Amino acid sequence: MVKFKKTIFKKLVTIFIALLVLSYIVTGGFLYYFLNDYATREKVTALEENADNLKSVFAYYLNLKQKNVVNADEWFEYYLDLASTSSNSIIWVVDKNGYVIFCQPSAAKDVLDKYKDETNWPKLPDPKQYNDVMSNGGAILQKTGDFFGFFKDDSFKYSSWLTVQMPFQVIPQNGQQETIAAVYLHTPLPEIQRLRTKVFQLFMISGGVAIFLAIVLVYVFSLRFTKPLKQINNAARIIAAGEFRNRLSVKGDDEIGQLASSFNQMVDDLQKVEEMRRGFIANVSHELRTPMTSIRGFIEGILDGTIPSGKHEDYLIIVRDEINRLNRLVNDLLDLARMEAGEIKLSIKPFDINELIRLSVIKNETLITTKNLEIEANFDTENMLVTGDRDSIERVVINLLHNAVKFSNENGRIIFETAKNKDKVFISIQDNGIGIDENEQKRVWDRFYKSDKSRGKDKTGTGLGLAIVKNIINEHKQEIWVESEIGKGTKFTFTMDFFKNNIED
């Protein structure tokens, strides 16, 4: 048996075990605390997306009913059954008087049968169960609990449920929106919390095994810690298994020290590549799921005859537009990945930023005139030379212009400004649109981030414009920032290096 003395080996093993156990306890505590909230939020988001899809399908169903399509009810019931199965929830469609006109799965109808009145339709017993969603102006409601006593019935396994209510509104002849029905999705909370329990159990088991194995490995390999080559070999095996956090701590300017430094640089590069790969997959998976589901649904509707032949062209146009958007999305993602990997080389040359702005406005004249926007240019001088990659900066200007047009109101104004301050030129693009909340302004540069869901009115966008803008400006070693106020508009400003041979008026 090896005797422990006050050696570096003993200190390293003790510190490593202490840190590992502490990290395990802290991570486990945070995981347990946040996992339930995360699972609930993810479920709420999924239910809201399902409710939004069902609202669109319900509108289509009403259109079929107006046309007296014979199998409209059966088609809608079938769609509700699919949505109920995929979301693991009970789905109701309730009219404004509280009558449940549709319910899936069919097993849930037995309880509703108890509430049938003289109309032979089940009516929700408590007005609180439908009055709120019918009279709140079209907002989505979220409730947890027994839904005002409804799920206390012995027929239900659980009494605590998550309920998402989404109203369906129409615009009658008086021109004011009116709620005529609502989609309800109910999911038992214990089913959601089960995810926390399963993940935490896996964490405990895997963490315990990992700690045990780590202690054994550290003990074995630390016995020869003084041999740098053995340390490099051990670290190389860990890296080969996909663990990029470990770094070598070999010091010195000799060959082994240089090898350790090169090894650490290699690990940094591998970690960046791995992070880019994971980020790319996560973003693509998230952004492609919804449009691909829509495309599949429309095509299946055409093939199985659910969509009438007279509507084929309309839905095929939607499919085409979605495919075009997906193509732009993939191209933007690839461009962004190349930028972050440093594969795009800049051609730094002097050019006139004022002229570039004028040409960008001309190129997007159709987009601007569609909303009847006024363009105002406030330039310090007629010509303003800056140094940079002209094509990249043109992309920045056009992306910011598109952003300003998208969120401007009809008959609004977009203002371009260029001004010199010492050796910098400040270029700004300002609109008088809806604005961005102060708490959200720091996150507008993130991929696919939307500060306000209501801002997503332009379905042709990819959600990557500002992320690309930020990367281009960073590659130029310049700065960009946003100033905004809700209801008054947004102003983006970035800097460029002033061309010293600029001839000013």
Task: Calculate the alpha carbon distances from 93 to 122, 124, 385 in Å.
Answer: 11, 11, 62
User: Percent of the chain having pLDDT more than 70?
Assistant: 83
Mean pLDDT of 233-249: 71
Q: Who's near 408: CB < 8 A, 6+ residues apart?
A: 371, 373, 414, 431, 432, 433, 489
For residue 381, the cross-strand partners are none
64, burial (CB in 10 Å: exposed 0-12, middle 13-18, buried 19+) = middle
What local confidence, expressed as pLDDT, does residue 481 receive?
92
Radius of gyration of the chain from Cα atoms?
A: 30
Give domain limits for the chain.
70-191, 227-344, 349-498
Q: Distance from first CA to last CA of the chain, Å, rounded?
A: 87
Instruction: Please identify which residue in the block is written with the tokens 């469609």.
Output: 93
pTM above 0.75, yes or no: no
CATH number of 70-191: 3.30.450.20
Cis peptide upstream of residue 105 (ω within 30 degrees of 0): yes
117 pLDDT band, cuts 50/70/90, is: confident
- When mean pLDDT is compared over 103-117, 230-244, 460-474, the highest value belongs to 103-117
Query: Average pLDDT, whole number, for the chain?
Result: 80
The answer to whether residues 207 and 215 touch, using CB atoms and an 8 Å cutoff, is no
pLDDT, one tens digit per residue, over 32-87 is: 777 767 777 888 888 888 888 888 888 888 888 888 888 888 888 888 888 888 88
201 pLDDT band, cuts 50/70/90, is: confident
pLDDT at 226 over 80: no
Q: Who's near 243: CB < 8 A, 6+ residues apart?
A: none
Report the distance separating Cα 211 and Cα 201, nearest Å: 15
pLDDT at 321 over 80: no
pLDDT at 449 over 60: yes
* Dihedral of alpha carbons 264, 267, 271, 272, sign: positive
Report the distance separating Cα 396 and Cα 469, nearest Å: 5
Report the distance separating Cα 375 and Cα 138, nearest Å: 35
CA angle 8, 12, 15 (to 5 degrees): 135
The answer to whether residues 247 and 234 touch, using CB atoms and an 8 Å cutoff, is no
Task: Calculate the alpha carbon distances from 109 to 115, 153, 372 in Å.
Answer: 10, 13, 53
353 pLDDT band, cuts 50/70/90, is: very high
What local confidence, expressed as pLDDT, does residue 85 receive?
87
The CATH architecture one would assign to domain 227-344 is Orthogonal Bundle (1.10)
Query: At residue 273, what is the residue type?
Result: V
Residue from 241, 234, 231, 250 nearest 270 by CA = 241
User: Percent of the chain having pLDDT more than 90?
Assistant: 14
15: its two tokens: 């510190």
Mean pLDDT of 442-464: 60
Query: At residue 144, what is the residue type?
Result: T
pLDDT, one tens digit per residue, over 155-200 is: 788 888 889 998 988 877 666 788 888 999 998 887 777 777 777 7
Instruction: Please identify which residue in the block is written with the tokens 């070693």.
Output: 477
Mean pLDDT of 261-270: 78
Higher per-residue confidence, 276 vs 465: 465
Instruction: Tell me which DSSP letter residue 141 carries.
Output: E
What local confidence, expressed as pLDDT, does residue 7 receive?
53
Report the distance separating Cα 76 and Cα 301, nearest Å: 12
Q: Name the superfamily (CATH) of residues 349-498.
A: Histidine kinase-like ATPase, C-terminal domain (3.30.565.10)
